[in-house]
Amino acid sequence: MDMVLLLQRVFDALFNSAIYSSLALALVIIFRSTGLLNFAQGEMATFSAYVAFVLLSGAAPGVTGGGLASWIGAPLVTPFAIVGAIIFGVAAGAATERVLIRPLRSAPELALLNVTIGILLALNSLMGQWWGTGPRVFPPIFPSGADDHFPIAGARLRFSTVGAWVILIGLLVLLALLLQRTRAGLAFRAVSIDPVSAELNGIRVGPTLMYGWALAAGLGAIAANISANSVLLEPTMMVRVLVYAFAAATLGGLDSPKGALIGGVVIGLSQTLIPAYVPFIGFELSVLPAMLAMVAVLIVRPAGLFGTQRIERV
């Protein structure tokens, strides 16, 4: 086995792992507070990436976005455009909870799942109508030229991979501070544990859940903007990523932020390394190793690696 090639594949896999972990973290935040899997998380993230694209392009011909471009003057530089898109994603996430989810809070879980699927279909169609279905080139956030890497033992650790992980670790630290040191974070933790008891103790459950949806949407927007350059921007950009993020969140534990991080790493490495070294699994079946890794862990630990085990009295 060529050790340099193996190391290079590991480095390449780590970039995907950071994306999967970021989106898995968004899924975990919503599931932890509501017990709901948000199937629209990928499309919400992609829409935020399109907003960044509009902000980057200004009122350029062919970048209409349903009239969004008419609000934009000169194009913004990349950092400001991405920050603007993240703010939009946070606001959209909060509005989604308030308008579409909160009125159905007492409805069966299947009804809420259907709502998220409806949001997925609506956003996908809207993006196709406004921006077309063809891929668009999104500018890189980090230097991505041929010489933009750290040489390590003959392999190349790209600046984009390092940057993605710096952002991910920073998000985890910020999330921990928000949940541990702020009133909104403490309220969110209380609602996550027992919403009925939290409400009886004076915590406003609705606004607290809206806080969680906004936070998750912001994380999804960050993941989409980081990955848009490597996969090209199109309405279905995050569909495949969402599948891997679901696998990562399930493997790590649907209520564990730490599990989202570890699950993303496991899924990213298995997706890249197993097809490369197992002859009968080609890269066309790269989703198979990720699913097998998830199933293997769930057989031993049904709640995931770091998920909370349910205790039922009989």
- Tell me the per-residue pLDDT of 31-54, one tens digit each, with 9 for 90 and over: 988 888 899 999 999 999 999 988
Give percent of the chain with pLDDT exceeding 90.
40
Q: Which domain holds residue 114?
A: 3-300
pLDDT band at residue 73 under the 50/70/90 scheme: low
Average pLDDT of span 217-240? 90
User: What's the rounded Cα separation, in Å, for the pair 284 and 76?
Assistant: 38
Task: Return d(Cα 230, Cα 158) in angstroms, integer.
Answer: 12
Query: Per-residue pLDDT for 62 more than 80?
Result: no
Would 133 be classed as within a structural domain?
yes
**308 falls within a domain:** no
64 pLDDT exceeds 70? no
Residues 119-124, mean pLDDT to the nearest whole number:
95
- Residue 305 falls inside a structural domain: no
- Give residue 314's pLDDT: 47
Q: Does residue 198 belong to any structural domain of this protein? A: yes
Q: How many domains does the chain have?
A: 1
| 236 belongs to a structural domain | yes
pTM attached to this predicted model: 0.89
What percent of the chain clears pLDDT 70, i.e. is strictly above it? 91
Q: Answer whether residue 309 is part of any domain.
A: no
- Domain-embedded: residue 177: yes
Residues 314, 169: Cα–Cα separation, whole Å: 41
Task: Tell me which of 216 and 307 has the higher pLDDT.
Answer: 216
What integer pLDDT is reported at residue 262 of this predicted model? 93
In sequence order, the 6+-apart residues with CB closer than 8 A to the CB of 64 are 130, 131
Q: Does residue 314 form part of some domain?
A: no
- Give the CATH number, domain containing residue 263: 1.10.3470
Phi, then psi, of 87 in degrees rounded to 5: -60, -45
The pLDDT, as a whole number, for residue 224 is 93
Q: What is the pLDDT of residues 172-227, one digit of tens each?
A: 899 889 888 888 888 888 888 888 888 888 888 888 899 899 999 999 999 999 98
